[in-house]
A and B are shown apart, each in its own frame.
Chain A
Amino acid sequence: MDNIAGTKSGLTWAVHLSVAFLVILWLFPTVGLFVSSFRTADQIASSGWWRSMFATEQNLVVRTAPPSEQVQQDGLYVLEGDLFEGLDAGDISQWGTSSRAIDAYQPGETAEIKDGRITVQADGTYRFESEEEFTGSRGQRVFATATTPPQFTTENYQNMLFNPSNREGMSKAFFSTLTVTIPSTIIPILIAAFAAYALAWMDFPGRALLIAAVVALLVVPLQLALIPLLKFHNAIGIGKGYLGVWFAHTGFGLPLAIYLLRNYMVGLPRDIIENAKVDGATDFQIFVKIILPLSFPALASFAIFQFLWTWNDLLVAMVFLVDATGETTVMTKQIVELLGTRGGNWEILATAAFISMAVPIAVFFAMQRYLVRGLLAGSVK
Chain B
Amino acid sequence: MHPALQGLVTIIIGVGGCVGYFFFSNFVLDRFLLPARAYSAEEAAVRRRSGTIFVFALPALVILALYLLYFTRNDFGLAAVFWLLIVAALIFGLWRLKDFMYGTGAVSAGHNISHANMIRPWLFLLPAIVALGLYLTYPVFETLRLSMMQRVAGGYEWVGFDNYTQMFGEAKFWEAMRNNMFWLIVVPAMSTVFGLIVAQLTDRISWGNIAKMLIFMPMAISFVGASVIWKLVYDFRPADQDQIGILNALWVGVGGEPQLWLTLPFWNNFFLMAVLIWIQTGFAMVILSAALRGIPEETVEAAIVDGAGPFAIFFKIKVPQIMPTIVVVWTTITLVVLKVFDIVYAMTNGQWGTQVLANYMYDKLFRANDWGVGSASAMIIMLLVTPILVWNVRNARKEMK
Interface pair B221/A30, CB less than 8 Å apart: yes
Given contacts A214-B132, A225-B135, A250-B135, are A314 and B223 in contact (CB under 8 A)?
Answer: yes
Task: Tell me if B381 is interfacial: C-beta within 8 Å of chain A.
Answer: yes
What residue in chain B is nearest A338 (Cβ atoms)? B228
A179-B3, A195-B124 in contact; A47/B242 too (CB < 8 A)? Answer: yes
Centre residue among B128, B129, B283 by max chain A CB count within 10 A: B128
What's the minimum C-beta distance from B36 to chain A, rounded to whole angstroms? Answer: 9
A86 CB to closest chain B CB (Å) equals 25
Are A247 and B135 in contact (CB-based, < 8 A)?
A: yes
A219 touches B392 (CB 8 A): yes
Known A191-B127, A217-B136, A364-B220; contact A224-B143, beta-carbon cutoff 8 A: yes
**Which residues of A lie under 8 Å from residue B249 when comparing CB positions?**
48, 50
Whether A191 touches B223, Cβ cut-off 8 Å, given contacts A29-B233, A211-B396, A216-B393, is: no
- Find out whether the CB atom of A228 lies under 8 angstroms from the CB atom of B143: yes
Which A84-116 residues have a C-beta within 8 angstroms of B?
A: none
Q: Which residues of B contact A339 (CB under 8 A)?
A: 227-228, 231, 346
Q: Which A-chain residue is minimally distant from B307 (CB atoms)?
A: A6
User: With the chains together, A242 CA to B7 CA distance in Å?
Assistant: 8
Q: A23-B211, A195-B125, A375-B287 are in contact. Are A380 and B3 (CB under 8 A)?
A: no
Partner of A381, one of B120, B324, B366, B385: B324
B81 at the interface (CB under 8 A from A): no
Contacts of A182 in B (CB 8 A): 7, 11
Interface segment out of the listed B41-49, B97-105, B332-340: B332-340
B232 near A36 with CB under 8 A, answer yes
| 8 A Cβ contacts from A298-319 to B | 308, 311-315, 318-319
Whether B128 pairs with A380 at a CB distance below 8 angstroms is no
Question: Which among B17-25, B87-95, B163-171 touches the partner chain?
Answer: B17-25
Residues of A within 8 A of B125 (CB): 194-195, 198-199, 210
Q: Report if B183 contacts A (CB, 8 A).
A: no
A1 within 8 A of B: yes
A293 on the interface (CB 8 Å rule)?
Answer: no
Q: In the complex, which of the residues A6, A350, A364 contacts B219, with contact meaning CB atoms closer than 8 Å?
A: A364
Q: In the docked arrangement, what's the CA distance between A18 and B211, Å?
A: 11
Cα A330 to Cα B392 in complex, Å, equals 34
- A221 and B244: CB pair below 8 A? no
Cα(A199)–Cα(B50), bound, Å: 32
- The answer to the question of B75 belonging to the interface, with a C-beta cut-off of 8 Å to chain A, is no
A204, B121: Cβ atoms under 8 Å?
yes
Assess whether A48 is in contact with B242, with CB atoms less than 8 Å apart: yes
Are B224 and A356 touching (Cβ within 8 A)? Answer: yes
- Please state if B10 and A221 are interface contacts (CB–CB under 8 Å): no
Residues A360 and B342 in contact, CB atoms below 8 Å apart: no
Q: Which of A193-236 contact B (CB under 8 A)?
A: 194-195, 197-199, 202-204, 207-208, 210-229, 231-232
Contact with A along B150-192 (1 / 0, CB 8 A): 0000000000000000000000000000000000000000000
| A314 adjacent to B345 (CB under 8 Å) | yes
What secondary structure prevails in chain B residues at the interface with A?
A: helix
Given A44-B244, A186-B14, A311-B222, CB of A216 within 8 Å of CB of B7: no
**Mask for A69-91, Cβ within 8 A of B = 1, else 0?**
00000000000000000000000
Give the contacting residue for A26; candidates B131, B281, B332; CB below 8 A. Answer: B281
- Given known contacts A19-B202, A314-B222, A363-B220, A380 and B395 CB-to-CB distance under 8 angstroms: yes
- Per the 8 Å Cβ criterion, residues 147-184 of A in contact with B are 175-176, 178-179, 182-183
Measured CA separation A162–B122 after assembly (Å)? 50
Query: Size band of the B side of the interface?
Result: 35 or more
Q: How far is the CA of A228 from the CA of B230 in the complex (A)?
A: 34
Asked if B328 lies at the interface with its beta carbon under 8 angstroms from chain A, I say: yes
Cα-based distance from A136 to B341 in the complex (angstroms): 62
- A45 to B233 Cα, complex, angstroms: 14
Chain A residues with CB under 8 A of B400: 208, 211
Does B137 belong to the interface (CB within 8 Å)? yes
Given the contacts A211-B400, A353-B229, A228 and B142 also touching, CB distance less than 8 Å:
yes
**Which chain A positions have C-beta within 8 A of B269?**
none
- A315-B395 in contact given A6-B304, A242-B10 (Cβ < 8 Å): no
CB-CB under 8 A for A190 and B228, given A284-B26, A314-B222, A336-B345: no
Alpha-carbon gap, A175 to B132, bound state (A): 28
The interface centre, meaning the residue of B3, B341, B388 with most chain A CB atoms within 10 A of its CB, is B3
Please give the distance in Å from A209's CB to the nearest CB on chain B: 10
Residues of A within 8 A of B85 (CB): none
Name the distance in Å between A87's Cβ and chain B's nearest Cβ: 20
0 or 1 for each of B263-305: is its CB under 8 Å from A? (1 = yes) = 0000000000000001001010011001000000100110010
B68 at the interface (CB under 8 A from A): no
B161 smallest CB distance to A (angstroms): 18
Q: Is B148 an interface residue (CB 8 A)?
A: no
A251 adjacent to B135 (CB under 8 Å): yes
Residues on the A chain within 8 Å of B304, using CB: 1, 4-7
Residue in B3, B215, B382 whose CB lies within 8 Å of A220:
B382
Give the docked Cα–Cα distance between A282 and B4 (Å): 37
Whether B286 lies near A376 (C-beta < 8 A) is: yes
Whether B86 is near chain A, meaning CB under 8 Å from some CB there, is no
B61 interface contact, C-beta 8 A:
no
Top 9 closest A-B pairs, CB basis?
A251-B135, A312-B222, A195-B128, A364-B220, A228-B142, A198-B124, A225-B139, A228-B139, A353-B228
- Report 16 cross-chain contacts, Cβ distance below 8 Å, ordered by A residue: A1-B204, A7-B310, A22-B194, A48-B246, A50-B246, A186-B15, A192-B128, A194-B22, A204-B122, A211-B396, A221-B358, A223-B378, A308-B219, A312-B225, A314-B345, A315-B362
Q: A194-B125, A223-B378, A231-B142 are in contact. List 8 more A-B contacts (CB 8 A).
A: A4-B301, A48-B242, A48-B243, A183-B14, A225-B143, A227-B371, A254-B131, A283-B120
Residue positions of A touching B, CB distance < 8 A = 1-2, 4-8, 11-12, 15-16, 18-20, 22-23, 26-30, 32-33, 36, 44-50, 175-176, 178-179, 182-183, 186-187, 190-192, 194-195, 197-199, 202-204, 207-208, 210-229, 231-232, 242-243, 246-248, 250-252, 254-255, 258, 282-284, 287, 308, 311-315, 318-319, 328, 332, 335-336, 339, 346, 349-350, 352-353, 356-357, 360-361, 363-365, 368, 371-372, 375-376, 379-381
Q: Which residues of B contact A (CB under 8 A)?
A: 3-4, 6-7, 10-11, 14-15, 18-19, 22-23, 26, 30, 117-118, 120-122, 124-125, 127-129, 131-132, 134-140, 142-143, 146, 194, 197-198, 201-202, 204-205, 208, 211, 213-225, 227-233, 235, 242-246, 249, 278, 281, 283, 286-287, 290, 297, 300-301, 304, 307, 309-310, 324-325, 328-329, 331-332, 335, 338-339, 341-342, 345-346, 358, 361-362, 365-366, 371, 374-375, 378-379, 381-382, 385, 388-389, 392-393, 395-397, 399-400
